[in-house]
Amino acid sequence: MANGVWHTEYGIEINLSRRDLGHPDRPGLLDEILTPTSQRNSQLLECLAHHYGSPCESERGGKSPWMFVRRGRAGSSRPLVAAHLPVTHKPTPGESDQHKAMKERVVTTAARNGLQADTEVRAANGRTISDAVVTGPDGQRIGWEIQFSPLGASGVRSRTAKTLGNGVFPLWVAKDPTAHLIDRAPWARINDTPWRDIRDGQHLPVRGGFRRFQIWRCTPRDPRPCPDGKGQCDNIHTAWSLPAVCVPEEKTPFIDTLVVRSATGEHVPVFVPSRADGRAGSYMWVPAADHQQWIDYCGEDLTPRPSQPGTDPDDVITFTEDDIDYTCRWGQETETRARTSPRPRRDTGQSIGRTFNPATHLTVIPTQRATSTVTFSRMTSAQRAAAAAIHRCQPWELGLCNGCSALMRRHGTNAAIFCDTCRRTLNNRVPSQAGPFREQPAVPMR
């Protein structure tokens, strides 16, 4: 594809291989040329060969000499590339029938279940907030973003921030497992379904973006494979899994169910941070009861927080600092696109969870000083974070001492079962006085 275009309004060449595009005096030029064609003059960018009177293969083929710029993909590189617009391009395309049918489906489902729903809700400045907004009994507003066409990562984050700023919680709907919106905001994925089937009420299972919580002891009697690949490791595993792979299998919800329960609060959005990078992670919708069970066991509130500023890998552009190629590359664009790496699948369906030492749940010693476990379970996320800083651990690694119920680091690598005081007491005991540890029942399977 071409690495240069002509800007018809400024009368300048733009070198897409240069970090400053060849014009260090125009800092806003990159955002301008990346503006979707539907929001700008379709003849803003011109093929360089056409501008200088050389043969434009696109025009000779009966197509358009006008161009658009996008982020390409070549392995791990993301260069800027220019491609010719189709001659049939419409500056202001309307909604697809599939998009309209899905939007009407959300509103109809909400109204049928006694919920208030509106389409094309606008903010005070007149701009549309969401395709459809469903309001729950307690006033919670869920903004449905039907995104069946491609949208970049920066666009997803920008629209999500604007929606939240207007007091509406976004719920993105996709049909493509490679969509950029997946895990960049609360989302749900359905199958690519004809618009007539959507309109006529055909069941639409949620294929991605909804999970159930599981907790189990990794023993030979359990049919689930060890998430850590250790066979039967005898540890306790927790996991957020697709309903279809749960043991026993859970029911996969339909999109109509999510319309209602997201507004009533029965299903809630969560963000499970990555263990490697806390800024990265997975968004998902889960039953509120499952989220509470996670909090009780892992001590971590997964309610999504406003995203922190950071760099998304898909926003990073690769600049090679090459010279402009003035040759029209039309006809080679399809071949080049076929050679570039396909967009990776973002909806992998892989379970996400943590592993805990079973000894911290299976042995106890006589209590020496009482501390209410209810107090620990009711600690706020801020209190847990402060306690984790004191004990130099992660919030989900906190727990109570088996001997005295004191707050301590109980989970994770090299975690202890008893606090320092209890360990000293045990070490000073006569063996006949210590008595055997009592084994508690294993964590029940779900």
Question: Tell me, what DSSP letter sits at residue 87?
Answer: T
Mean pLDDT throughout 77-82? 80
What is the average pLDDT across 167-179? 92
Q: Is the pLDDT of residue 374 over 60?
A: no
Rounded Cα distance between 301 and 337, Å, is: 43
Q: What is the DSSP letter of 443?
A: P
Q: Of 72 and 302, which is predicted with more confidence?
A: 302
- 234 close to 219: Cβ distance less than 8 angstroms: yes
How many C-beta neighbours within 10 Å does residue 414 have?
Answer: 6
Q: At residue 47, does pLDDT exceed 50?
A: yes
Looking at the chain, the whole-number percentage of residues with pLDDT higher than 70 is 79
- Please give the single-letter amino acid code of residue 360: T
Q: Give pLDDT tens digits for 323-339.
A: 887 777 766 654 444 44
Of the ranges 10-14, 19-23, 271-275, 284-288, which one carries the lowest mean pLDDT score? 271-275
Which comes out higher in pLDDT, residue 171 or 371?
Answer: 171
- For residues 109-114, average pLDDT: 95
Query: Which residue has better confidence, 400 or 113?
Result: 113
| pLDDT band with cut points at 50, 70 and 90 for residue 94 | very low
Identify the pLDDT of residue 174: 94
| Statement: residue 254 has pLDDT above 90 | yes
Tell me what percent of the residues of the chain surpass a pLDDT of 90.
28
Give how far Cα 195 sits from Cα of 63, 84, 93, 134, 151, Å: 30, 30, 18, 21, 20
Can you give the pLDDT at residue 335? 42
**Helix, strand, or coil (residue 366):** coil
Pick the most confident of 98-107, 339-348, 385-394. 98-107
Residue 174 vs residue 76, higher pLDDT: 174
Residue 5 has, within 13 A of its CA and on its CB side, a CA count of: 28
pLDDT at 314 over 60: no
Q: Which residues does residue 272 pair with via DSSP β-bridges, in sequence order?
A: 282
Determine the Cα–Cα distance for residues 325 and 323; give it in Å rounded to an integer.
Answer: 6
Residue 128: pLDDT band with limits 50, 70, 90: low
Residue type, 263: A
Joined tokens for residue 241:
């899994």
Q: Assess contact for 132 and 107: CB atoms under 8 A.
A: yes
In this prediction, residue 62 carries a pLDDT of 66
Measure the CA–CA gap between 410 and 412, rounded to whole angstroms.
Answer: 7
For residues 49 and 326, the answer to whether their CB atoms sit within 8 Å is yes
Q: What does the angle CA 9 – CA 12 – CA 18 come to, to the nearest 5 degrees?
A: 125
Supply the pLDDT for residue 240. Answer: 94
Contact present, 28 and 22 (Cβ < 8 Å)? no
- pLDDT at position 90 is 45
Count of C-beta atoms within a 10 Å radius of residue 219:
15
pLDDT of residue 327: 78
Distance CA(428)–CA(421), nearest Å, equals: 11
Q: Give every strand in the sheet of 352-356, ordered side by side.
A: 212-217, 236-241, 352-356
- Looking at per-residue pLDDT, the higher value among 217 and 312 belongs to 217
Q: Are 328 and 47 in contact (CB under 8 A)?
A: yes
Where would I find the beta strands (DSSP E) of 230-311?
236-241, 267-273, 281-287
Q: Which residues are 145's β-sheet partners?
A: 172
pLDDT exceeds 70 at position 111: yes
Q: What is the 3-state secondary structure (H, E, C) of 388-435?
A: HHHHCCCHHHEEECCCCCCEEECCCCCCCCCCHHHHHHHHHCCHHHHC
Quote the pLDDT of residue 87. Answer: 56
d(CA 185, CA 160): 7
Is the pLDDT at 201 greater than 90? The verdict is yes
Say which residue, 373 or 168, is predicted with more confidence. 168
Q: Looking at residues 55-84, what average pLDDT do you find?
A: 76
pLDDT digits (tens, 9 = 90+) for 284-313: 999 999 999 888 777 788 998 765 444 455
Q: 31 pLDDT exceeds 70?
A: yes
- pLDDT value of residue 366: 35
pLDDT at position 313: 55
Alpha helices for 84-201 (secondary structure H): 97-112, 153-165, 195-199
Alpha-carbon distance of 273 to 217, in angstroms, equals 23
Asked if 31 and 22 touch (Cβ cutoff 8 Å), the reply is no
Three-state secondary structure call for residue 74: strand
Pairing of strands 141-146, 169-174: parallel
Phi, psi (rounded to 5 degrees) for 79:
-75, 160
**What are the backbone dihedrals phi and psi of residue 376, each rounded to the nearest 5 degrees, phi first?**
-65, -45
Which residues touch 183 (CB under 8 Å, ≥6 apart)? 281, 282, 283, 346
Mean pLDDT of the chain: 79
pLDDT band for position 218 (50/70/90)?
A: confident
Domain positions in the chain: 4-92+318-339, 97-210+252-313, 357-439
Could you tell me the pLDDT band of residue 419, with boundaries at 50, 70 and 90?
confident
Is 190 in contact with 207 (CB distance < 8 Å)?
yes
Residue, of 257 and 237, whose pLDDT is higher? 257
Length of the chain (residues):
446
- What is the reported pLDDT for 397? 85
